[in-house]
Amino acid sequence: MKWLFVAVIIAATTGSDTLLTQRMKLHGEIRDFRAGALGRALGAVTRTWQVGVAILLLAVSFFAFMALLSIADMSFAVPATAATLVVETLVARLVLGERISARRWLGTALVTCGVALIAL
Protein backbone atom coordinates (compact mmCIF):
# COMPACT_ATOMS: atom_id res chain seq x y z
CA MET A 1 0.00 0.00 0.00
CA LYS A 2 2.82 2.40 0.90
CA TRP A 3 4.53 1.77 -2.43
CA LEU A 4 1.26 2.25 -4.31
CA PHE A 5 1.00 5.76 -2.84
CA VAL A 6 4.66 6.40 -3.70
CA ALA A 7 3.99 5.32 -7.31
CA VAL A 8 0.91 7.57 -7.53
CA ILE A 9 2.87 10.54 -6.12
CA ILE A 10 5.80 10.07 -8.53
CA ALA A 11 3.52 9.57 -11.56
CA ALA A 12 1.21 12.50 -10.73
CA THR A 13 4.07 14.92 -9.98
CA THR A 14 5.93 13.94 -13.15
CA GLY A 15 2.78 14.21 -15.28
CA SER A 16 1.93 17.59 -13.77
CA ASP A 17 5.41 19.04 -14.32
CA THR A 18 5.66 17.67 -17.86
CA LEU A 19 2.35 19.31 -18.87
CA LEU A 20 3.28 22.59 -17.14
CA THR A 21 6.68 22.70 -18.84
CA GLN A 22 5.23 21.88 -22.27
CA ARG A 23 2.54 24.55 -21.97
CA MET A 24 4.90 27.23 -20.63
CA LYS A 25 7.44 26.55 -23.41
CA LEU A 26 4.58 26.89 -25.93
CA HIS A 27 3.75 30.26 -24.37
CA GLY A 28 7.36 31.34 -24.62
CA GLU A 29 9.76 33.13 -22.30
CA ILE A 30 8.06 35.63 -20.00
CA ARG A 31 9.96 38.93 -20.34
CA ASP A 32 7.49 41.53 -19.09
CA PHE A 33 7.33 41.51 -15.30
CA ARG A 34 4.98 44.47 -14.85
CA ALA A 35 2.07 43.30 -12.68
CA GLY A 36 -0.59 43.76 -15.39
CA ALA A 37 1.30 42.00 -18.16
CA LEU A 38 2.45 39.17 -15.91
CA GLY A 39 -1.09 38.69 -14.59
CA ARG A 40 -2.54 38.58 -18.11
CA ALA A 41 0.08 36.07 -19.31
CA LEU A 42 -0.34 33.73 -16.33
CA GLY A 43 -4.13 34.18 -16.34
CA ALA A 44 -4.38 33.17 -19.99
CA VAL A 45 -2.08 30.17 -19.64
CA THR A 46 -3.85 28.99 -16.46
CA ARG A 47 -7.08 28.64 -18.46
CA THR A 48 -5.57 26.12 -20.89
CA TRP A 49 -6.43 22.43 -20.47
CA GLN A 50 -2.77 21.47 -19.96
CA VAL A 51 -2.42 23.72 -16.91
CA GLY A 52 -5.86 22.63 -15.67
CA VAL A 53 -4.85 18.96 -15.78
CA ALA A 54 -1.43 19.83 -14.31
CA ILE A 55 -3.10 21.49 -11.29
CA LEU A 56 -5.45 18.52 -10.91
CA LEU A 57 -2.47 16.12 -10.92
CA LEU A 58 -0.67 18.36 -8.41
CA ALA A 59 -3.70 18.06 -6.12
CA VAL A 60 -3.68 14.25 -6.58
CA SER A 61 0.02 14.20 -5.65
CA PHE A 62 -0.60 16.45 -2.62
CA PHE A 63 -3.45 14.35 -1.21
CA ALA A 64 -1.62 11.10 -1.98
CA PHE A 65 1.33 12.47 0.03
CA MET A 66 -1.02 13.31 2.92
CA ALA A 67 -2.48 9.79 2.71
CA LEU A 68 1.04 8.31 2.65
CA LEU A 69 1.98 10.30 5.77
CA SER A 70 -1.05 8.87 7.54
CA ILE A 71 0.27 5.30 7.11
CA ALA A 72 4.04 5.88 6.96
CA ASP A 73 6.67 8.09 8.61
CA MET A 74 8.20 11.18 7.06
CA SER A 75 11.48 9.19 7.08
CA PHE A 76 9.93 6.78 4.58
CA ALA A 77 7.79 9.23 2.58
CA VAL A 78 10.43 11.86 1.78
CA PRO A 79 13.30 9.62 0.59
CA ALA A 80 10.93 7.30 -1.33
CA THR A 81 9.35 10.19 -3.21
CA ALA A 82 12.79 11.80 -3.78
CA ALA A 83 13.00 9.34 -6.68
CA THR A 84 10.76 11.88 -8.44
CA LEU A 85 13.92 13.94 -9.11
CA VAL A 86 15.45 11.15 -11.18
CA VAL A 87 12.18 10.16 -12.91
CA GLU A 88 11.48 13.77 -13.87
CA THR A 89 14.99 14.22 -15.24
CA LEU A 90 14.55 11.07 -17.38
CA VAL A 91 11.14 12.27 -18.63
CA ALA A 92 12.59 15.74 -19.34
CA ARG A 93 15.11 14.06 -21.62
CA LEU A 94 12.82 11.49 -23.26
CA VAL A 95 9.57 13.48 -23.57
CA LEU A 96 10.58 17.14 -23.46
CA GLY A 97 13.83 16.68 -25.41
CA GLU A 98 16.03 18.45 -22.87
CA ARG A 99 19.74 17.69 -23.04
CA ILE A 100 21.03 16.45 -19.71
CA SER A 101 24.78 17.00 -19.45
CA ALA A 102 26.95 14.75 -17.28
CA ARG A 103 27.30 17.65 -14.85
CA ARG A 104 23.52 18.02 -14.55
CA TRP A 105 23.11 14.26 -13.96
CA LEU A 106 25.81 14.34 -11.29
CA GLY A 107 24.21 17.36 -9.58
CA THR A 108 20.76 15.75 -9.69
CA ALA A 109 22.15 12.51 -8.23
CA LEU A 110 23.84 14.45 -5.38
CA VAL A 111 20.57 16.31 -4.62
CA THR A 112 18.60 13.03 -4.62
CA CYS A 113 21.06 11.35 -2.24
CA GLY A 114 21.02 14.48 -0.06
CA VAL A 115 17.21 14.51 0.19
CA ALA A 116 17.26 10.81 1.10
CA LEU A 117 19.96 11.38 3.77
CA ILE A 118 18.07 14.32 5.33
CA ALA A 119 14.92 12.29 5.84
CA LEU A 120 16.23 8.79 6.62
Partner 1 sequence: MSSPIGNLRLKTWVVTAIVVLANLAGNSCLSWGLKQRGRALGGAPLEYVAAVFTPWVALGIALLILWLLARMTLLSWADLSFVVPVTAVGYALAAVAGRFLLGEQVSPQRWAGVLLIAAGTALVGTTAIRTTAGGRP
Binding site for partner 1 (CB under 8 A): 17-18, 20-21, 24-34, 38, 42, 45-46, 51, 55, 58, 78, 84-85, 88-89, 91-93, 96-101, 103-104, 106-120
Using the minimum distance from each CB to partner 1, give the nearer residue, 72 or 78. 78
Using the minimum distance from each CB to partner 1, give the nearer residue, 1 or 101. 101
Please check whether residue 119 is in contact with residue 74, taking contact to mean a CB–CB distance below 8 angstroms. yes
Using the minimum distance from each CB to partner 1, give the nearer residue, 2 or 107. 107
Compute the distance between CA of residue 50 and CA of residue 22 in angstroms, rounded to an integer. Answer: 8
Please check whether residue 79 is in contact with residue 106, taking contact to mean a CB–CB distance below 8 angstroms. no
At residue 68, what is the residue type?
Answer: L
